[in-house]
Structure formats: C-alpha cells, structure tokens
Amino acid sequence: MRLLLFLSFWAIIFLVNSCSTARHTTVPETINHLKFLSEYNVPYNKIFQNTIIGGLSGIDYEPRENVYYIISDDRSEKNPARFYKVGITISNDKIDSVIFFDTKVLKNRAGNVYSDAHNDPYHTPDPEAIRYNPKRNTLVWSSEGERLVRPNKVILEDPSITEINPDGTYIDTFKLPPQLHMGVTESGPRQNGVFEGLTFANNYKTLFADVEEPLYDDGSRAGLNDSTGIIRILKFDVASKKTLAQYGYTIDAVSHKPNPPGSFIINGVSEILSLGGDKLLLIERSFSTGRLACTVKIFIADLSDADNIKDIPSLKDSRDVKMASKKLLVNMDSLGIYIDNIEAVTFGPKLHGGRRTLLFVSDNNFLPIQKTQFLLFEIE
C-alpha cells in the first residue's frame, strides 16, 4: 500500500509537470475578444487531504513548479483556512483534468492556524484572493475581515492583505489606508464587500487590490436601474507595502430583478487581473435572489486617465472626479450555459500555435445546488 501511494504521488507530479503547457510569459496589454472553449466541474464536497474542496475564490499560476495556487474562502469553519496546489491539464483546447495534489494551511503572525469564528470571531480571516510573486518566491492573499454590528454584539475585524511563504507561514501585512478600516457607524467598508481581488503589476513592483462594493463613505451599492455605485481600486508598493494611489471605478447595475421583490441583490467586482501598464481585467459578478445563476461580465478597465482619489475621503459628490474607463469584453449570459459564482481568474496555458488562455473559477459557497466550475477561454 505504501509503495502504491508513493507511485501514485509521483504519477501525479509527473502529470502536473509534463502535461500542462503553461509558461510564465509577459501578459498582453490588449485583449480584443474572449472565445469560450470548455467547462470542467469538480464534484461537490470532494475530499482531498482531509479537507472539503469548495469556496474556491482565487487562483494564480506559479511558473517554477508549473502549478496553480487556489485559495478557499472557508473561514476555518469546515477545515482550517487554506489554499491548494493544483495541476490543470489541457487537451484538444479543453480542460482535461484538475488535479489537487497539496494543501497548505494559512498561518497567523504567531505561527498558528487561524481559529474559526466561534472560538475567535475577532481574528478569523475571510480569504478571497491569492497571487504568486516569482521575484520574491512568496504569495499574497486577501481577507475581507468582518463587520458585525448588533445591539448585543459588535465584531470589527479590518480587511487585510498578507504576504506569506509558499508553505503558508506569515511574513508581513500590507498597510491599510484610513478609508479601509471597519467602523461601528456606517463608514468604511461594508460587510463581505472588501478585498475580493488582487493582481501584481509593473514587474511585481506594485500590487492592485479592489474593493468589491462601494464603501459607505463613497455612496450606495449597485441598484437595479442605476450604475452610480463606485468602488475603489488600490495600488500598493510591494517593497514598502504602502498605498501609492486609489482609483474610482463605476460598477454596472444589478442585472436581474429579484424574486420575491425587495430581496437580496448584489453587483460588485469579484476579481482583477493585470493586463500590463494601467490596464486591468475586471470581473463584475451580479446575483439576484430567485435566480441561481450569476450574471458575470468581463471588462477591461484603464486607469491611465483616472484621478488619484487616495486623499479623498468620500466619493458621494464625485461629479468632478474622473473615474477609470471600462470596456465590456464578454457577458457570460451570452454563452448559453449555466454560470455560477465566478470569483477567480488567471492566465492559463498556451494552446497550440501560441494562443493565450484565461481560466476562471467559481465559488460554490459549499452548497450542493452550486458548482465548483472551471471555465477556459481563448484570448483573441
């Protein structure tokens, strides 16, 4: 049995390192079109190394080992907060397999595993995004923190961006700008609407992070018939871990009416990806109660002419502020397939002929009615 396990392990390593055609290359600044190629679904509640695979919210490619890092947004409720090392193989322009072959537990500053919200609600992370930095051989991951304000209970945990070693051990935390601290009053970030996306840029010298929904100070959330919701995109210096700039970005209205009327709706930016220069690929993910599928729109945002709003505490009167421009690449409603809660994106392997790809991943919220979905697109 031990020999069989040993051989199986090295067979997986061989597959991961030989079958994938991904290589670490310079990202394109221009994407004119995305062509959908294939879908791959991980079975619900699949067990790997004594953890439940689910809640996948961030993905990034690591070139030296030719693997992908994928983070789960499990708040240490089902298993300790963690990320996975995964191999993804492509055959005939389709996803052939998604192989999980290692799990790493996230560690706090003291070197301990994070507790769940029942045992330590003031220090329980809500992991959302993960990116690999080959210049430093480190990872960064984001947490949305917590904001729970009730008459008999108040929990305020700031969002965070943390640098770690590949084994999950803590290195340092990025410095939070004043606007991003949780507050008892309706100021600062909304609950579960903070650092959903991360991406390195400028040859890994800078790091962008997005706030999923508008801060209280910046105005209302996305509505059904308006597009006045403004989120912030933050630019950090990787060396100093300080904020260099912030930019405003106007999100679309919620795509569909809820059923019943007046029930929960949301639209926000669930992930970002650098395209080089001042351009970012953004995922806007809209959900309405009564409709299981999400409406996922992929945009290109250009920050080059946007105002730096780092020192502007509120955008409620934003008529004189120039926002980032945006261009729609694809609305996944047009694909004719069920689209789940897409929260992650990375550049994928090259196809035959050198064509680039994008890989998207969905967060199934650990629910049987949702999917852990991998979607492969060709960049044209």
Q: Hey, what amino acid is at 278?
A: D
pLDDT (0 to 100) of residue 7: 32
How large a percentage of the chain has pLDDT more than 90? 85
Which range has the worst mean pLDDT, 187-196, 296-305, 348-357? 348-357
12-28 burial: b if 16+ Cβ within 10 Å, else e: ebebbeebbebeeeebe
Q: What is the dihedral of CA 239, 188, 313, 317, to 10 degrees?
A: 130
Q: What is the pLDDT of residues 142-191, one digit of tens each?
A: 999 999 999 999 999 999 999 999 999 999 999 999 999 999 999 999 99
Question: Rounded to whole angstroms, how far apart are CA atoms 59 and 272?
Answer: 11
Averaged pLDDT for residues 316-334: 95
Q: What is the pLDDT of residues 39-94, one digit of tens each?
A: 999 999 999 999 999 999 999 988 778 899 999 999 999 999 999 999 999 999 99
pLDDT (0 to 100) of residue 10: 36
Please name every residue paired with 39 in a beta bridge, in sequence order, or none if there are none: 375
Give the pTM.
0.92
pLDDT (0 to 100) of residue 19: 41
The full set of domains in the chain, from first to last, is: 2-24+33-379 (2.115.10)
Averaged pLDDT for residues 214-221: 97
pLDDT at 29 over 90: no
Averaged pLDDT for residues 217-236: 95
pLDDT at 113 over 60: yes
pLDDT at 20 over 90: no
The pLDDT confidence band at residue 219, using thresholds 50, 70 and 90, is: very high
Q: Where are the alpha helices (DSSP H) in the chain?
A: 2-19
How large a percentage of the chain has pLDDT more than 70? 92
Residue 380 has what DSSP assignment?
-
Q: Retrieve residue 116's tokens.
A: 């769940």
Q: For the chain, what is the mean pLDDT?
A: 92
Question: Rounded to whole angstroms, how far apart are CA atoms 51 and 79?
Answer: 6
Question: Rounded to whole angstroms, how far apart are CA atoms 150 and 176?
Answer: 25
Question: Number of helices (H) and strands (E), helices first, in the chain?
Answer: 1, 24
Which range has the worst mean pLDDT, 12-21, 258-267, 353-362? 12-21
pLDDT at 28 over 90: no
Q: Retrieve residue 376's tokens.
A: 């492969």
pLDDT (0 to 100) of residue 117: 87
pLDDT (0 to 100) of residue 75: 97
Angle at 180 between CA 238 and CA 106, to 5 degrees: 60
pLDDT at 194 over 50: yes
* φ and ψ at residue 179, rounded to 5 degrees: -70, -15
